[in-house]
């Protein structure tokens, strides 16, 4: 008991001035290397696309002539992009996030970053850095969007994208290239795909649950198999895209025997547009959209979402978005999946 009291007294003597009002809960002492910044209780902030999210960064005390710099850690180019810099009185915003970010400033020690209308590209790691001469220190936080990863290839077959084309293709389908963490999580949730695809950091992978001959052989263990980093200009693979639910949006089906142009017009007649592949995956994942009917999508493919597998709907035992590929756009065989946003 006496030893605990002595340790408590020593901590109070070592604490920076003004820190007492921001003590951490009992049993969670701040790391010794952080003198001014509080270690966040929850380093991962969960949010949804279109929502407002706040990344916490709170000071224990205000050193003289300090600055706080927020930046986003970019895995694709191994760098960091500055978002905002403040000295407590004034601030300056930088980069593409500039119109959507602000400092929360709920009190004088608060340097938390608030992001409005969260977008897919906002997911990732953020650094809050206290710049204070030789005593610089920082904390890392992660902004996490619940989402779904899907493989994507163009109408002319597999392995047609270089890295930049894969990145652009995902963006055209209301998604972005997945991170390794997103692909790994998708694999743990059942993603099993034999074709290799680009991810955001420029590496190439494919997730396998059921080992089989065409996918590296039966002897290799299940896992996210990798080709490593590849030439972003010359090498060609498919893409693994990541998308998330968008608040206030809806995907729905229009029945009919329509060709591609008629399907697009049917959606426009109702104030909507043909859904993109990412939007259909999002509706399947988050709105439990379940239909046996093949329908046109904006990229010219025909797909249908199944949440409750059954024999007459493809016969596969797992839920998923099934594909008929890219049939002739003149075929009057399918309905249309329409998307209406907020």
pLDDT per residue as tens digits for the range 57-106: 999 999 888 999 999 998 666 689 999 999 988 999 999 999 999 999 99
281 and 192 together in one domain: no
The answer to whether residue 6 sits within a structural domain is: no
CATH number at residue 285: 3.10.100.10
60 and 122 together in one domain: yes
The answer to whether residue 296 sits within a structural domain is: yes
Distance separating alpha carbons of residues 6 and 28, to the nearest angstrom = 18
251, 267, 333: which is closest to 294 by C-alpha? 333
103 and 163 together in one domain: no
- Taking 60 as the threshold, does the pLDDT of residue 21 lie above it? no
Residue 73 has a CB neighbour count (10 Å cut-off) of: 15
- Where does a domain end: 145, 162, 197? 145
212 and 280 together in one domain: no
The answer to whether residue 25 sits within a structural domain is: no
In which order are the strands placed within the sheet that holds 101-103? 53-55, 113-115, 101-103
pLDDT in tens, 244-294: 988 788 999 999 999 999 999 999 999 999 999 999 999 999 999 999 999
Which residue, chain included where needed, has tokens 């004088």? 108
151 and 240 together in one domain: yes
- Where does a domain end: 126, 145, 164? 145
Q: What is the mean pLDDT of residues 157-183?
A: 96
Given the DSSP bridges, would you call strands 101-103 and 320-323 parallel, antiparallel or unpaired? unpaired
User: Which tokens go with 8?
Assistant: 């408590």
331 and 268 together in one domain: yes
Distance separating alpha carbons of residues 296 and 300, to the nearest angstrom = 6
pLDDT, residue 208, reads 95
193 and 279 together in one domain: no
44 and 139 together in one domain: yes
Split into its structural domains, the chain has a count of 3
The answer to whether residue 22 sits within a structural domain is: no
Range of the structural domain that residue 183 is part of = 147-244
The answer to whether residue 102 sits within a structural domain is: yes
269 and 216 together in one domain: no
The answer to whether residue 27 sits within a structural domain is: no
The answer to whether residue 26 sits within a structural domain is: no
Binned at pLDDT 50, 70 and 90, residue 192 comes out as very high
The answer to whether residue 11 sits within a structural domain is: no
- Taking 60 as the threshold, does the pLDDT of residue 28 lie above it? no
298 and 308 together in one domain: yes
pLDDT, residue 34, reads 85
155 and 234 together in one domain: yes
259 and 229 together in one domain: no
- Where does a domain end: 145, 172, 207? 145
pLDDT, residue 77, reads 67
What string of H, E and C letters represents the secondary structure of the chain? CHHHHHHHHHHHHHCCCCHHHHCCCCCCCCCCCCCCECCCCCCEEEECECCCEEECCEECCCCCCCEEEEEEEECCCCEEEEEEEECCCCEEECCCCHHHEEECCCCCCECCEEECCCCHHHCEEEEEEEECHHHCEEEEEEEEECEEEEEECCCCCCCCECHHHHHHHHHHCCCEECCHHHHHHHHHCCCCCCCCEECCCCEEEEEECCCCHHHCCCCCCCEEEEEEECCCCCCCEEEEEEEECECCCEEEEEEEEECHHHHHHHHHCCCCEECCHHHHHHHHHHCCCCCCCCEECCCCCEEEEECCCCCCCCCCCCCEEEECCCCCCCCCCEEEEEEECC
Residues 206/197, Cβ–Cβ less than 8 Å: yes
Residues 193/213, Cβ–Cβ less than 8 Å: no
Binned at pLDDT 50, 70 and 90, residue 7 comes out as very low
């Amino acid at each position: 008991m006496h030893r605990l009291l002595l340790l408590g007294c020593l901590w109070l003597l070592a604490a920076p001035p003004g820190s007492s009002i921001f003590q951490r809960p009992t049993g969670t002492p701040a790391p010794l290397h952080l003198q001014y910044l509080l270690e966040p209780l929850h380093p991962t902030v969960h949010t949804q696309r279109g929502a407002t999210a706040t990344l916490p960064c709170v000071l224990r005390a205000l050193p003289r002539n300090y600055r706080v710099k927020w930046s986003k850690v970019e895995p694709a180019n191994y760098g960091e992009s500055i978002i905002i810099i403040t000295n407590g009185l004034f601030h300056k915003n930088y980069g593409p996030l500039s119109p959507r970010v602000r400092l929360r400033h709920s009190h004088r020690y608060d340097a938390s970053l608030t992001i409005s209308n969260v977008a897919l590209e906002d997911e990732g790691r953020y650094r809050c850095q206290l710049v204070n001469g030789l005593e610089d220190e920082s904390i890392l936080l992660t902004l996490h969007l619940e989402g779904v990863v899907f493989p994507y290839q163009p109408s002319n077959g597999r392995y047609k994208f270089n890295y930049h084309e894969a990145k652009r293709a995902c963006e055209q389908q209301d998604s972005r290239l997945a991170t390794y963490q997103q692909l790994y999580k998708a694999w743990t949730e059942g993603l099993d795909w034999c074709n290799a695809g680009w991810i955001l950091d420029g590496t190439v992978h494919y997730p396998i649950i059921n080992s089989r001959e065409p996918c590296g052989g039966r002897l290799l263990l299940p896992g996210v198999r990798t080709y490593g980093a590849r030439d972003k200009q010359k090498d060609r693979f498919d893409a693994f895209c990541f998308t998330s639910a968008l608040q206030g949006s809806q995907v729905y089906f229009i029945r009919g025997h329509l060709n591609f142009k008629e399907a697009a017009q049917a959606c426009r007649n109702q104030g909507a547009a043909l859904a993109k592949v990412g939007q259909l995956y999002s509706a399947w994942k988050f709105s439990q959209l379940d239909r046996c009917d093949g329908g046109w999508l904006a990229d010219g493919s025909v797909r249908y979402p199944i949440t409750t597998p059954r024999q007459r709907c493809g016969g596969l035992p797992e839920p998923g978005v099934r594909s008929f590929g890219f049939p002739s756009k003149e075929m009057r065989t399918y309905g249309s999946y329409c998307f209406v946003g907020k």
